[in-house]
Amino acid sequence: MKNIAVYWDFENIHSSLCNLRYGEDWLDQFRGQRHPAVVDIGAIMQFAESQGSVNINKAYGNWAWYQQYSHDLHEFTFDLVQLFPRGMNMKNGADIRLAIDALDDLNRHEHLSVFIIVGGDSDYISLAQRVRQRGKEIIGIGVRETTNKFWINACNDFRFYSSIAALGAEGGSSAPPPQATGDIEEAKRLLRQAVFELQKHHGGEAVRMAHVRPMLTNLDPYFDLADYGCRSFDEFISRCADCVITSQAGQETHVKLIDQAPPAQVKPADISANVDLYRKILDEKDMPLPRPGLLKPGLLHVIELFVNQPEGLDYLNDVDKSLSEHFLQMNLSHATTDCFNIRQLIYRIRGFYIDKEANKRFLHYKNEDFRSLWEQIAHRLLDAIHEAIDGELDFAALSLLIQGDDSLADELAGLAQAAGQYRPKTPPAPFQAATVVE
């Protein structure tokens, strides 16, 4: 049985849920009153205990605010760390104290194998890296709407609070059961892509089911079982029975695609022709793309890299090295040129800048948000192709180049429509001589 250590950034999880339920002004609404009890502690502890034996259970916060949780805190024998708020923003510094304690426990207690962090801040990324370097597992728990996407990617496994609360409901918790809000067909497409990527890396048709969920999260950081009305990953796989089949090999479950054709192998001839044309255009404009499926996770990692190194990089080549290590960790097949191409695309939008005095390289502040960085690169790609063709843009073809399927077609079309500058070029009207009327 695995030995578990759980650390709660209680203000983070409590405030995130209050923001969702009562709005961002919830503090004003409850000023002078006891805060509402919104965190299902029992559901989270049920999940933690399902992972193994909980040896450490520490929570950080100003407990004068959270007396309404006293029964659950006593029932689950929490080690409560009191942190008084400081400064104008009333922050309690829980993230710093939590990270220090977790690192201390990591170094002192070799028997601990899994670290669970309840909180959604990007401040825990460095902690996750240290835990994984020591060969331990780190699991994050946070609220989908407020959790930092880079923190999600840094974990071996990440669970959204909504999914855990749904599991708690099955076990007798008062939390509501999950309601399916996502498109299960889209989830199946993502599942096929995840299994296909794992097949390319490991070889063979059957892959370990334990590897599938991390790959799904890598492809889509916000993948959540609760969106599809599922309480467990086994249940999700069962709902995808027309897409994959499972088998047992000793103590391990393996997953195999029913249809072994690559996700984007079959495509119309005209789209195929446009794919080749667009690839040639981008190569000629010195904007070659990495192999399909690498661009978006690569951009996410570059942002994470600079967030974790605020002092900057000595060389931009370090970006390529870090990307390669990241892709290896995520079991994503890649080549050195793929990493260079991602860096080159960021360079093309002037995404880096150099502090000449310190001789350090930084990511431009406007690009520290993934959405902004991705959209700038997407527009640059659309610009390059639009300048070279006369007809309409084929968004499905560009999506195939970037992602390996047409899943980005609608998003690219939306960006083009919002920009309003990618209309087909209209040839000039033929010259007509003036009619002479006598």
pLDDT in tens, 287-305: 999 998 899 989 989 998 9
CATH assignment at residue 67:
3.40.50.1010
C-alpha–C-alpha distance, residues 409 and 258, integer Å: 26
427, part of any domain: no
Least confident of 28-42, 100-114, 119-133, 265-279: 265-279
CATH assignment at residue 368:
1.20.120.1790
Same domain, 110 and 127: yes
Q: Grade residue 270 by pLDDT with cuts at 50, 70 and 90.
A: low
Question: Domain residues for 248?
Answer: 179-263
CA terminus-to-terminus distance, the chain: 103
pLDDT in tens, 87-98: 544 455 788 889
What pLDDT is stored for residue 271 in this prediction?
Answer: 55
Same domain, 257 and 273: no
What does the DSSP assignment read for 362-398? Answer: EE-GGGSSHHHHHHHHHHHHHHHHHHH-SS---HHHH
196, part of any domain: yes
Pairing of strands 79-82, 53-61: parallel
**265 and 216 in contact (C-beta within 8 Å)?**
no
189, part of any domain: yes
What pLDDT is stored for residue 421 in this prediction?
Answer: 67
pLDDT in tens, 23-46: 877 877 777 777 788 999 999 999
C-alpha–C-alpha distance, residues 411 and 311, integer Å: 34
**113 and 56 in contact (C-beta within 8 Å)?**
no
pLDDT in tens, 216-229: 877 777 777 777 87
Least confident of 90-94, 149-153, 178-182, 305-309: 90-94
Same domain, 25 and 157: yes
Same domain, 183 and 96: no
Q: Is the pTM of this model over 0.75?
A: no
Q: Please return the burial class of 220, using the count of CB atoms within 10 Å of its CB with bins 0-12, 13-18 and 19+.
A: middle
- Identity of the highest mean pLDDT range in 20-29, 99-108, 206-215, 390-399: 99-108
C-alpha–C-alpha distance, residues 220 and 12, integer Å: 23
- What is the chain's Cα-based Rg? 25
Q: Which helix (H) or strand (E) holds 206?
A: strand 206-208
Domains of the chain: total: 3
Which of 118, 111, 162 has the alpha carbon at shortest distance from 138?
118
Same domain, 46 and 132: yes
438, part of any domain: no
424, part of any domain: no
